[in-house]
Amino acid sequence: MAYVITDSCVNCGTCEGECPVGAISAGDGKFQIDAGACVDCGTCAGACPTGAIEQG
Task: State pLDDT tens for residues 26-36.
Answer: 998 899 999 99
Whole-number Å distance between alpha carbons of 29 and 42: 22
What is the domain range of residue 23? 3-55
> What confidence category does residue 1 fall into, taking pLDDT thresholds of 50, 70 and 90?
confident
**N- to C-terminal Cα separation, the chain:** 6
Whole-number Å distance between alpha carbons of 27 and 17: 15
CATH of the domain at 21: 3.30.70.20
Averaged pLDDT for residues 24-53: 96
pTM value is 0.90
State the Cα torsion 19-53-24-1 to the nearest 10°. 90
Our count of domains for the chain comes to 1
H or E element that contains 46: helix 43-47
